[in-house]
Amino acid sequence: GFSAADRTENIRRIGEVARLFADAGLLTIASFISPYRSDRALVRSLHEQAGLPFLEVFVDVPLAVAESRDPKGLYRKARAGEITGFTGIDDPYEPPADAELVLNTHELTVGESVHAIVEALVTRGWLPAAGETH
């Protein structure tokens, strides 16, 4: 669901699963809508408390652009009142204060965004550079 409690529980579960994968030595990339700073802070702390690396990537996009990219028509339904608690329409989005990487996807191509993520991982030593092995 779209309630704050549903979103918080969903993010907590995703964070726990990502932590399990990271704890097993896997580079884990998870993508999800996480509108509340407190939920993102919880996921960060799950990793940090376990001594695991964590990189928050803020995919920043104006609301109008996000709506234009909506293949399921969820924004239209939210604006029509058919869906409630929808992020950016009748529920807030709290932008991150401390994301390690910000991607302005209305200005970057998908390829440029992917390159920025890979570069952030390589710079931190979490992914080998092209031609290197771990």
Q: Catalytic one among 3, 31, 34, 68?
A: 34
- The rounded distance, in Å, linking the Cα atoms of 42 and 26 is 20
Cβ count near 34 (within 10 Å)? 24
CA dist 27 and 94 (Å) reads 27
68 is catalytic: no
Question: Do you know the residue count of the chain?
Answer: 134
**Residues with catalytic function:** 34
